[in-house]
């Protein structure tokens, strides 16, 4: 049986579906009162385990009879208010998963990390798996927690755990409204007019799932980390492609640095009263013009994966998210 932490999220739900399609038995590890609507069509085929990766007792219960673990549970946020929660879940939670996996002697653990964990440095544009983390103002608090989470996985490997790490870029697909990359689609759909000079690294959720399953079931070849990124595009062109698919006006006003400084402050002011995380935070605003490109050449060479074209990803996502016919 395969245990998936964070099974109700975008990655987790697509993994559940793909594994069931393969005939695998899946235990979905989710928190109490989680929104599991992304699993509605396969709920009856899943073995649910209710718990929390920071509750070791619930992890122990969920690990009974498990052969493989896919650890997707994490908090993605660029909001200062959530930094403590991110560390608690992303770092301490991963440590708990690693320790429990070691205690149960699972066959393999696959950790879903992020390209953010590779770190960013000035004067470097192209990044691959050999990039070494360095403290930098370009690294967000989220990136720091994902890097530290990877250190926990590497610590587990030193203690005998068979594990592999995938580092996806921004994952595009029809997730829950108001979450993750879905907010980028909603940004265009709701008629916002600003864009930045920055670049988006992206991967279709379906391509990520195919890569994860290959790496989970392949024999250990000594490699630990794989970047999963299908391409890089300027935000302006990305927004234009979404707008064309939705038949709406694309963001057409370049947000200058001083405008971004105003926007994140207004967002912070608004969130103070609403309690909701703003789309534009201090971290996202100040990295909005960054240009980094992540290489998937190691993955492509090993798996011969062929990534879907971005136009297909956008069309598919828009059709599901907005019933766009």
> What is residue 161's predicted lDDT score, i.e. its pLDDT?
96
Residue 90 lies in a domain: yes
Residue 236 within a domain: no
> The domain spanning residue 6 has which CATH number?
3.40.50.720
Identify the domain containing residue 225 by its residue range: 2-172+202-229+293-308
Domain count along the chain:
1
Instruction: Answer yes or no: is 72 within a domain.
Output: yes
Nearest to 94 by CA among 6, 14, 16: 6
Mean pLDDT of 133-155: 88
Position 266 in a domain: no
What local confidence, expressed as pLDDT, does residue 83 receive? 78
| 135, HSE (Cβ side, Cα atoms, 13 Å) | 0
Phi and psi torsions of 142, nearest 5°: -60, -45
**Would residue 146 count as lying in a domain?**
yes
Residue 258 has pLDDT above 60, yes or no: no
pLDDT tens profile 59-88? 999 999 999 999 999 988 766 666 788 899
Residue 179 located in a structural domain:
no
Flag whether pLDDT at 262 surpasses 70.
no
pLDDT band at 270 (very low <50, low <70, confident <90, very high): very low
Q: Which long-range contacts (CB under 8 A, 24 or more apart) does 238-242 make?
A: 238/184, 238/200, 238/202, 238/310, 239/184, 239/187, 239/188, 239/195, 241/310, 241/311, 241/314, 242/184, 242/185, 242/188, 242/189, 242/314, 242/318
| Domain-embedded: residue 185 | no
Classify residue 36: in a domain, yes or no: yes
């Amino acid at each position: 049986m395969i245990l998936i932490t964070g099974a109700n999220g975008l990655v987790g739900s697509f993994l559940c579906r793909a594994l069931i399609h393969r005939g695998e038995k899946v235990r979905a590890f989710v928190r109490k009162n989680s929104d599991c609507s992304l699993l509605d069509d396969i709920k009856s085929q899943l073995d649910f385990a209710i718990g929390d990766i920071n509750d070791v007792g619930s992890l122990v219960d969920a690990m009974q009879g498990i052969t493989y673990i896919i650890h997707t549970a994490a908090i993605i946020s660029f909001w200062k208010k959530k930094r403590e929660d991110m560390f608690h879940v992303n770092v301490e939670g991963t440590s708990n998963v690693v320790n429990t996996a070691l205690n149960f002697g699972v066959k393999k653990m696959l950790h879903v990390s992020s390209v953010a964990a590779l770190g960013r440095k000035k004067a470097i544009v192209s990044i691959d798996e050999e990039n070494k983390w360095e403290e930098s103002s370009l690294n967000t608090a989220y990136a720091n927690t994902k890097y530290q989470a990877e250190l926990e996985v590497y610590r587990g490997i030193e203690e005998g755990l068979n594990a592999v790490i995938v580092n996806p870029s921004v994952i595009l697909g029809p997730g829950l409204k108001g979450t993750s990359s879905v907010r980028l689609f909603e940004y265009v759909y709701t008629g916002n007019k600003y864009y930045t000079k920055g670049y988006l690294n992206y991967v279709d959720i379906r391509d990520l799932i195919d890569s994860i399953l290959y790496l989970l079931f392949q024999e250990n070849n000594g490699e630990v980390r794989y970047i999963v990124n299908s391409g890089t595009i300027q935000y302006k062109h990305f927004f234009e492609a979404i707008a064309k698919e939705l038949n709406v006006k694309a963001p057409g006003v370049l947000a200058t640095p001083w405008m971004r400084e105003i926007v994140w402050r207004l967002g912070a002011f608004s969130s103070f009263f609403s309690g909701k995380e703003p789309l534009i935070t201090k971290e996202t605003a100040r990295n909005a013009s960054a240009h980094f490109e992540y290489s998937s050449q190691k993955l492509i060479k090993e798996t011969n994966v062929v990534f879907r074209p971005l136009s297909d990803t956008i069309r598919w996502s828009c059709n599901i998210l907005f019933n766009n016919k």
